[in-house]
Chain A
Amino acid sequence: MGNIKMLGALFLAVAMVVGPVTPIWTGVAEAAKATATPLTRPTAPLRLTTSPLPIVLNTKPGQSASTDIKIKQSGGDTEQLQVSLMKFSATGETGQPKLSDRGPGDDYFDWVTFDRPTFTAPNDVWQTVKMTVNVPKSAAFSYYYAVVFSRVGDTIKVGNGQSGIAGGTAVLVMMSVDSPGASRSLQLATFSVAHRVMEFLPTDFTVRLKNNGNVFVRPGGNIFISQGNKQVGLVTVNSELGMVLSGSTRAFSAEWNYGFPYFNDVKIDGKNKIDKKGNPVRVLNWGLPEPDKTSAISSGEDDFIAKQSRNPLTNFRFGEYTAHLLITYPDNFGHDVPMESTLTFWVIPWRMLLVVLAILLVVGFGLYSSARRAMGWTKVVRKFGKRR
């Protein structure tokens, strides 16, 4: 009985201590929820700016990796923003991502935390959200996250025959985990040229690389173009610093246009004009291309062009050319692994040649006619001389 009384007193004491705490905890949770989910749908236009993109993380099993993501909303009002997580993969061969929701077995979503899953974003003020990935010891190879920022309340239903529009911006995060068995390996699938024979430059090269490893890789390299033993051109491959995701193939395009004359893209307001078939419209330019001096990244291609003669005649392209591809990627130890391939192509300005040939024929015919006429007169003169 005495024990029961003691237990009762203990229960009462605990209840007195815990009792007041519980409502306070609930109150905080509800307050946070109320702040995060406005009762009304935001009406201001949504303008989100994020930086950087994409983000590359590298860590080891059992360690964590983190990155700061900056976001700014400029819709006009102070807004509540939220962070959510998706994944992405490669679609096609151009470096285009494909977003997907979390699937069964995607437990790597659980490794990710954000220091501010929802936050107040005043108009036009940069906010920093820290993303931390606590990688378990069992983790390995590559993980592809898409961190999506959106506005709280945008998914509240609208009525009366309207569609509600919610928006968001996704920051792609690629994480590699250096575990035993990690393999950085690319295979040169194809190295091709759009046309083996062309009338004028540019010539469009395509380098397709297959990532047969299990970690994403960023390749880089050049195409050296030569005629005989003389190098006449240099083209950079993957100047955009794109990645090849594990298990995917990516095609990199490169164009060599340094020649006289050359076809260049027709621009309207700075953009390529596209024909009905979706191809860029090009016109023949009777000059030489200029190196891109506005590029933020120093390009070996532009340096090479800067050193070349600006005399159009020395850059007249005619004959067989050899394109030698040398591309590298870093292996597991950071050493460059080279891949090489060579192809040949022809530049034959056939219409110019036909015009020249036609001129030669006309001139030759004229000379021949003049010669025959002169010979005819000689005969007449001789005949006349004999008669006399």
Chain B
Amino acid sequence: MTVANAPAVLETGAGASPRRQSRAGLAKYLGLTPFALYVLLFLAIPTVLAVSTGFFTEDGSLTFDNVAGIFAPAVLATFASSFWVSAVTAVIGAVVGALVCYAMLGTRAEGALRTTVDSLSSVLAQFGGVMLAFAFIATIGNQGLVTVILRNSFGIDLFAGGQWLYQVPGLLPVYIYFQVPLMVITFMPALEGLKSQWAEANATLGGTRFTYWTQIAIPVLAPSFISSLLLLFANAFSSYATAAALISQGSQIVPLQIRSALVSETVLGRENMAGALALGMIVVMVVVMWGYSALQTRASRWQQ
């Protein structure tokens, strides 16, 4: 608190007249305007527009048709497939990612292993998109490296069940490929927050490794684990680039549905349908991210 008040004391202490002081105060607030304006123009307005266009028709009158359109069976089905792709990849990503974090416990944070894994994880988790789709086409696509090896050497046809890589199931391996690294980035701090004193206390009281994990570590880590799981879900739910690069036909998940609503020129008023879909998506994202931050707050109790 004293630190926070210090600058104000410094400025008034010089015996500035109240008038000068208030002008300085105003100037201070002026300093905030560029950022405020920028965020207003390119974050607040687009978000409000995105969410509200769903409530209007093309000529500007209020309607609930678009929002009701979300509950059309075809649209609900895309929400459902978005949900299950996100859920499956989040669970697998979280479990594998947590294992990798566990394996890195006890290595030096500044060491070569950790810095390399961290950087690799960030690349794959956040910036891959289109490029990861390419990598998977080159690997398990029709003529992919693994496809060809399996076909020629083992007689296994990856595509016996159809062209699954270019449909919703094809999203699973690629999404897992960026979910695991995201888990590594978000879950590692929680795992490092486990204190060695807890293990010592457990041992002193006659506990075993098993009781350490079941009675101490897992309960302490549970909020972090679930909040990371939610973040992974949100990440998969909102990701667009990979799906756009893999799936060229149809709009089987919500982001692709938004694409087709945005670029469609055949059906009039579809742009407002994009607004309704965006609204649906935001509702899901807000709920998930709210859960994420609530759990994070709870988890941070153990990370002091």
Physical interaction between A and B: no
**Chain A residues within CB distance 8 Å of chain B:** none
